[in-house]
Amino acid sequence: MATPIEKQEIENFRMAELLRTTSINALCRSWFLDEIWGIKSAANDISAFDFYFEHYEHLCSAVEESLFWLTHSHAVCAVQRMLTQRRGSCVDELLTFVPPSTVNKTLTVDKWMAFVAHSLLFMDISKWQPTETLPEMIDRSVAVRSVQDDSFRLPRSFNARTIAKVAGINVQWTTRLTSHLEVSGNDCDVAVFHCGSVLELYQRSKHSTIFPDGFLAETGKTMSLLLPKSETSLRKWLLNEKRQLRLDGSVLACPYLRASERNIRCFDYYRERLIILKEVFDEHEPRGIGQFWRDDRKPVQWWTFWIAIVVFVLTLVGCVEGALQVYKAYYPEGDSSSALGCRRRL
């Protein structure tokens, strides 16, 4: 049970404006996890969700002006309704919380829900229809079981680093679970969800049922496919990406998938997205010597290219040596010295 002092601290946090958020302490984090997710965590267990709260704090500090009036209590209130009600009903209830002076209350509620969806649910809800519940939106637009009957094994070399450094496809790290593995930008960009700790939060929470059976586990499996911790070159690349882009530390802890687990038929929800990504990966030709050197997708082509380079270099060296021999034949070293001596005497 919380002491009176702790209860007051939690109440102060609840009523604090989002914009004033700096760092949420362990007590308030515990309240948050229990209030929204039904997770009762010990103090030493909360650290598993550090990235979740850092992400929330970061977005709170950048909340737009029309939402300055929101408090943490408002955020929790919205999440609780979004997880259990249809969008239309949720909007109607949240409208009663909007300040009377607000010009466009419906637009404000839409922004409020979008903010909460990104900061606390790690989702994009732009496709959520008024008559749908959140699970229905997820079933319709995200967690769709594939009907494609393809059967092939994704190679071990198919990972985030080779996608970026070999094929030249931009890996866009995303905090929106709904965007995971979407290919966009004229087939030049792919979104990769990097928040493994958020998957763990969902799996441990009372709201894990908003996703269909196996969806969260398969999402984690796709992360293991693209981010296996056993690949040394990939790990070095990920460490650099993590330093620069505030990635979840879980990107460095994804287990390796065995060959049998990399068959495309093992993926029900992400099969189509993976097939598209693999096709784009295979179609992208390397640009520049660096990408050619790293590109081992087509071994015969790779060896042909580098053998041609070696032959060209050896031919060039042979031509230079031949030219030097011709030069020496016309200008022997002794004649050159004699000619130079004559010029000096003159």
Domains of the chain by residue range:
4-141, 160-292, 299-345
Higher pLDDT, 142 or 334: 142
Over range 154-180, report the average pLDDT: 93
pTM for this structure?
0.81
Q: Give the strand pairing for 183-184 and 170-174.
A: unpaired
Distance CA 205, CA 38 (A): 6
Higher pLDDT, 95 or 142: 95
What is the phi/psi pair of residue 184, to 5°?
Answer: -145, -170
Distance CA 274, CA 192 (A): 11
Over range 250-267, report the average pLDDT: 94
Band (186; pLDDT cuts 50, 70, 90): confident
Q: Is the pLDDT of residue 257 over 60?
A: yes
Token pair for residue 45? 């267990």
pLDDT for position 285: 66
Band (306; pLDDT cuts 50, 70, 90): low
Q: Is the pLDDT of residue 77 over 90?
A: yes
What is the phi/psi pair of residue 219, to 5°?
Answer: -60, -45
Q: Is the pLDDT of residue 88 over 70?
A: yes
DSSP annotation of 263 reads B
Q: Is the pLDDT of residue 323 over 80?
A: no
Distance CA 43, CA 257 (A): 33
Of 179, 170, 71, nearest to 118 by C-alpha is 179
Residues whose CB is less than 8 angstroms from the CB of residue 34 and which lie 6 or more positions away in sequence, other chains included: 40, 41
Band (289; pLDDT cuts 50, 70, 90): low
Q: Is the pLDDT of residue 252 over 50?
A: yes
Question: What confidence tens digit (pLDDT) does each residue in 127-163 have?
Answer: 999 999 999 999 998 888 888 878 899 999 899 999 9
What share of the chain has pLDDT > 90, as a percent? 66
Question: What confidence tens digit (pLDDT) does each residue in 23-61 have?
Answer: 899 999 999 999 999 998 776 688 899 999 999 999 999
Tokens 């071990």 -> residue: 156
